[in-house]
Protein backbone atom coordinates (compact mmCIF):
# COMPACT_ATOMS: atom_id res chain seq x y z
CA UNK A 1 0.00 0.00 0.00
CA UNK A 2 1.43 3.41 -0.92
CA UNK A 3 2.22 6.05 1.66
CA UNK A 4 0.00 9.14 1.56
CA UNK A 5 1.66 11.79 -0.61
CA UNK A 6 0.07 14.98 -1.91
CA UNK A 7 0.79 15.31 -5.64
CA UNK A 8 0.56 18.75 -7.27
CA UNK A 9 0.39 17.15 -10.74
CA UNK A 10 -2.63 14.98 -9.90
CA UNK A 11 -4.45 17.49 -7.66
CA UNK A 12 -6.07 19.98 -10.10
CA UNK A 13 -9.74 18.98 -10.46
CA UNK A 14 -9.70 17.91 -14.11
CA UNK A 15 -6.53 15.84 -13.71
CA UNK A 16 -7.85 14.31 -10.49
CA UNK A 17 -11.04 13.30 -12.32
CA UNK A 18 -9.05 11.90 -15.26
CA UNK A 19 -6.99 9.74 -12.93
CA UNK A 20 -10.10 8.69 -11.02
CA UNK A 21 -11.83 7.58 -14.22
CA UNK A 22 -8.77 5.73 -15.48
CA UNK A 23 -7.90 4.06 -12.16
CA UNK A 24 -10.39 1.15 -12.32
CA UNK A 25 -9.92 0.38 -16.04
CA UNK A 26 -7.08 -0.86 -18.19
CA UNK A 27 -7.59 1.93 -20.73
CA UNK A 28 -10.27 4.31 -21.99
CA UNK A 29 -11.06 5.81 -25.39
CA UNK A 30 -10.11 9.51 -25.54
CA UNK A 31 -13.61 10.41 -26.79
CA UNK A 32 -15.31 8.54 -23.95
CA UNK A 33 -13.04 10.24 -21.42
CA UNK A 34 -13.72 13.66 -22.98
CA UNK A 35 -17.48 13.13 -23.05
CA UNK A 36 -17.59 11.77 -19.49
CA UNK A 37 -15.67 14.81 -18.24
CA UNK A 38 -17.71 17.21 -20.39
CA UNK A 39 -14.63 19.06 -21.66
CA UNK A 40 -13.21 19.92 -25.08
CA UNK A 41 -10.61 17.94 -27.00
CA UNK A 42 -8.12 20.75 -26.46
CA UNK A 43 -8.66 20.85 -22.70
CA UNK A 44 -8.34 17.09 -22.36
CA UNK A 45 -5.23 17.05 -24.57
CA UNK A 46 -3.60 19.75 -22.44
CA UNK A 47 -4.30 17.89 -19.19
CA UNK A 48 -3.13 14.57 -20.65
CA UNK A 49 0.11 16.24 -21.78
CA UNK A 50 0.82 17.34 -18.20
CA UNK A 51 0.05 13.85 -16.88
CA UNK A 52 2.08 12.28 -19.70
CA UNK A 53 5.09 14.52 -19.08
CA UNK A 54 5.00 13.36 -15.44
CA UNK A 55 4.94 9.74 -16.62
CA UNK A 56 1.43 9.16 -15.24
CA UNK A 57 -0.46 8.33 -18.46
CA UNK A 58 0.33 6.79 -21.79
CA UNK A 59 -1.51 7.26 -25.07
CA UNK A 60 -1.80 4.69 -27.83
CA UNK A 61 -3.39 5.19 -31.23
CA UNK A 62 -5.04 2.28 -33.01
CA UNK A 63 -7.28 1.77 -35.99
CA UNK A 64 -10.69 0.27 -35.52
CA UNK A 65 -11.93 -2.54 -37.75
CA UNK A 66 -15.46 -1.24 -37.11
CA UNK A 67 -14.66 2.04 -38.88
CA UNK A 68 -14.48 2.32 -42.63
CA UNK A 69 -12.46 5.54 -42.59
CA UNK A 70 -8.84 6.15 -41.64
CA UNK A 71 -9.61 7.75 -38.29
CA UNK A 72 -7.76 6.28 -35.36
CA UNK A 73 -8.82 5.75 -31.77
CA UNK A 74 -6.65 7.23 -29.04
CA UNK A 75 -6.53 5.05 -25.94
CA UNK A 76 -5.54 6.56 -22.60
CA UNK A 77 -4.20 4.52 -19.68
CA UNK A 78 -2.63 5.20 -16.31
CA UNK A 79 0.93 3.95 -16.04
CA UNK A 80 2.03 2.05 -12.92
CA UNK A 81 3.59 5.33 -11.72
CA UNK A 82 0.30 7.12 -12.36
CA UNK A 83 -1.70 4.54 -10.41
CA UNK A 84 0.74 4.74 -7.52
CA UNK A 85 0.73 8.55 -7.48
CA UNK A 86 -3.06 8.72 -7.68
CA UNK A 87 -3.48 6.19 -4.88
CA UNK A 88 -0.97 8.04 -2.68
CA UNK A 89 -2.68 11.35 -3.43
CA UNK A 90 -6.12 9.99 -2.49
CA UNK A 91 -4.67 8.70 0.78
CA UNK A 92 -3.19 12.15 1.45
CA UNK A 93 -6.56 13.79 0.79
CA UNK A 94 -8.22 11.34 3.18
CA UNK A 95 -5.67 12.28 5.84
CA UNK A 96 -6.28 15.98 5.25
CA UNK A 97 -10.03 15.40 5.57
CA UNK A 98 -9.47 13.47 8.79
CA UNK A 99 -10.85 10.25 7.34
CA UNK A 100 -7.79 8.18 8.20
CA UNK A 101 -5.34 8.13 11.04
CA UNK A 102 -1.98 9.69 10.27
CA UNK A 103 0.83 7.21 9.93
CA UNK A 104 3.99 7.79 11.94
CA UNK A 105 6.78 8.97 9.66
Does the pTM of the predicted model rise above 0.75? yes
16 three-state secondary structure: helix
Name the strands in the sheet holding 72-78, side by side, starting at the edge strand that comes first in the sequence. 28-29, 72-78, 57-63
Indicate if the pLDDT at residue 105 is higher than 60: no
The answer to whether residues 15 and 100 touch, using CB atoms and an 8 Å cutoff, is no
Domains of the chain: 13-96 (1.10.10.10)
pLDDT tens digits for range 40-93:
999 999 999 999 999 999 999 987 766 666 678 899 999 999 999 999 999 999
* pLDDT attached to residue 102: 56
Q: What is the rounded distance in angstroms from the CA atom of residue 43 to the CA atom of residue 58?
A: 17
Mean pLDDT of 19-30: 97
The answer to whether residues 74 and 29 touch, using CB atoms and an 8 Å cutoff, is yes
Amino acid sequence: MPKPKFDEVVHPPTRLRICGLLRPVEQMDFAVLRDTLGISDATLSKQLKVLGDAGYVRLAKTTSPARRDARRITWVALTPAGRSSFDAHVLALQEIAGLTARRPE
